[in-house]
Amino acid sequence: MLKPEKFRKEYGKSQLANELPDSPIGSLRDLQYLYGKLYTLATTGGGEYAPYLTPDAAGELVDTDDSLIVVRIDISSDEPQLADDDIGPVQVTRYTEDLIQKVGHCKFSAAAGIDHSITHQSGRNSKPEKLARYAKERLTRWGTDDVVAEAADDHADGWIINRLAELGESESALETIEETITRKLGGESATSLLTVQVKTESNGDYHWPGDLDVFNEAMRQRKLSKLVTKNKADDSSGDATDLVTGLPARTVGTSEDPQNYFLGKQLEKFPGLDIEEAWRSHPISEDAAITVMNAGTFVEACTYRTFGSKVYYLPYVFGRLTPHKVHRLYELLYHATENDDTTPIEDAYKNERGTDLNTRDLRFYISAVMPHQMSRYDVFGETLNGRLHYPKELAFTHNRLVESVSAFNKEPEAEWTAPLPTNEKWGLLSTSDEQLHAVSTGWYFYQTFAERDDDEADADDPRIKALVSVLSGEPIAVDLLLEEYVDRIVDEQTDDDEHEGFPSFLVASQFAQLCALADNGLQLLKPTDPSNDPITHEPTYDRYIMPTLDEIPIADGGHPAATKLESFINETPALSPAHDDDPDSVTSQRRGAFLLGALVGDIGSYQEYSEDRSTTLVDQYPVKSITRSRIKKVTQETVAKTLTYTRQEKKQQGGYPGTKADHIVDRLRETILSPDPEDWEIETDDLRFYYALGVTYGMNDHPWNRDETDADETEEEH
């Protein structure tokens, strides 16, 4: 395949313009056609038969020993015969770059079939006798194939093929071929292409198959015959308007597809399919179908397997296909084939910096394909409107949140911890250069959503829905996120063998993700009902930039824990009274759940570190136990336990001067103890997630000690 610099030189502005479609990309087929056209130009060049060749099929054989076996045939006289010159009837040589187009190889993937071209590729490490059989079949099988024979009858030089078939009837010629191959290989196995050279004039040279139109046309007809007989169709073809070029043509209905779409068993794309009439449902011309098939290399390079599915990220340029834009696109596709470690989105981000390809012109076709069984697939999340902006900005926004806003970072020189913890060993609680990779591959949601067995994944997998939504800029339903978050939290609290303690880093990661998705510039969250609307609003946390000594604020004398709680609630739209201070509103109920969690986390931490208790309130009231019917009882018991510890500390010298955690208790009385939670309207997942967020907040609510080592610092990322 041509490198981008050589491609640009080989196909300048005018040459490339002549090869490009006239219309912008408007469908997947248009995109595949463009990919196939670029791949053909980069590998086999232009010309009528170039799209039919498969140069990559035997790419690994290039410049290897014994990789090309050539049967040499002289048909310049009345009787066809094997070559009788210095080289001999069979040449065993190396398959080199300059021979790729000359041998005219066209692979047929069927295990028991022969290749479409007279050139055939053997299996790996075939024994000499098997290679000899393949060589003889160039005359006895390919030369007598029904489609090849029909093509020969219709071609002015069809006699050349007929002479090969005639020679194939000579037992002595076949024995010579076998004996010569066996002798030249010295009994060693080889992986080879097997082909022929033909001498048509007595004083002429021996011609390769690619140099003779009759061989090319027979190859073409044989390959085309498979486009109308797939899935046991007799002849799924007819005259119609080609959906790619818009021109009248003979169209085919059962052609192959690099993404396995529009197959006979792909019922989602072909509802109520009559296999013989498939060309009416999806008319694509013969040549366009072949070009689309050639898109496979680029399509496969622009995919990623995740969550048991195959996700396609196919870049293209928006609007008119100018040579300049397409040169840049080819460069992106070429690098995708060379790089297995990153996604096309990451490659596009790296390549667009410092180049003149405007990212506003760059789009992505995005879809996820879920295989169920052989030849049966589900296609979902399909869009042509994917943009680099969404995953790139989401990665940046997430890093910015964790790195510099007050929810995750304490105020400089403050005496108290930040509201929520961070941890360098947790990808979503640290600033990471790999965040774009996490977003574009789905790892971003794998870390926060409920765990599943990828071998049993299905098209309804929320992780795939979320991934495709982010890549295409479609908002994700808040209810879906909360359900997944809570399921994951409950699983980790329940699985005592694998996880220890409350998953505070997980909850903090989920909340950071939720905040990033709510960013005003992205708007990747949507409420499923008005009560969840505040969750979709961007938080207003202060952004901290480390000040100079002169800029460090002087403490105002207020209790830092109370000030921190007030600020966090007011700056979090889902909790803020500014969004709804009605005691009967869902926002107030959510705030009550958060405050209860904060008190449970605060007192639970006190029990663990001051009382040395192995079972705390955090363990006593796990997330799955919190419901509307139980939350008031849990609150009463937690407040009672708080008062017990308050009295206990007052007996000690320097005991707590007021009610322990009074900045939480006082607000709880207003939100849970006075109204009746059984009449609340908040959904259970909403209630539980913000309770879990509160627990995380409470566990992290303590004085800051610059010399202490976080006891959880060594906890490994999940």
pLDDT along the chain (718 residues), means of 10: 92 90 90 95 88 90 95 94 94 94 89 88 94 95 94 96 95 96 94 96 94 96 83 78 89 79 58 73 87 92 88 90 92 88 83 58 87 69 87 94 90 79 91 90 94 79 91 93 97 73 95 96 90 92 55 48 91 90 87 96 89 88 95 93 84 64 86 79 96 96 59 43
Spatial CB neighbours of 513, under 8 Å, sequence gap ≥ 6: 398, 428, 444, 445, 448, 481
Which secondary-structure segment (H or E) carries 309?
Answer: strand 309-317
Q: Side chain identity at 615, as an amino acid letter?
A: T
Model pTM score: 0.82
Query: Residue 118 belongs to what domain range?
Result: 59-222
Residue 377 lies in a domain: no
Residue 217 lies in a domain: yes
Residue 64 lies in a domain: yes
Pick from 167, 187, 222: which residue ends a domain? 222
Per-residue confidence (pLDDT) for residue 530, from 0 to 100: 84
Residue 567 lies in a domain: yes
Cα distance between residue 297 and residue 280, in whole Å: 28
Residue 508 lies in a domain: no
Pick from 195, 222, 249: which residue ends a domain? 222
Per-residue confidence (pLDDT) for residue 560, from 0 to 100: 78
Task: Give me the half-sphere count of Cα atoms (radius 13 Å) on the Cβ side of residue 553.
Answer: 8
Asked if residues 481 and 514 have their Cβ atoms less than 8 Å apart, the reply is yes
Residue 576 lies in a domain: yes
Residue 626 lies in a domain: yes
Dihedral of the CA atoms 110, 114, 115, 120 (nearest 10)? Answer: 130
Q: How many domains does the chain have?
A: 2
Cα distance between residue 532 and residue 528, in whole Å: 7
At 58, list the tokens: 């035997």
Pick from 188, 222, 256: which residue ends a domain? 222
Residue 588 lies in a domain: yes
Asked if residues 91 and 194 have their Cβ atoms less than 8 Å apart, the reply is no
Cα distance between residue 343 and residue 514, in whole Å: 24
Asked if residues 488 and 447 have their Cβ atoms less than 8 Å apart, the reply is no
Asked if residues 593 and 682 have their Cβ atoms less than 8 Å apart, the reply is yes
Cα distance between residue 316 and residue 320, in whole Å: 11
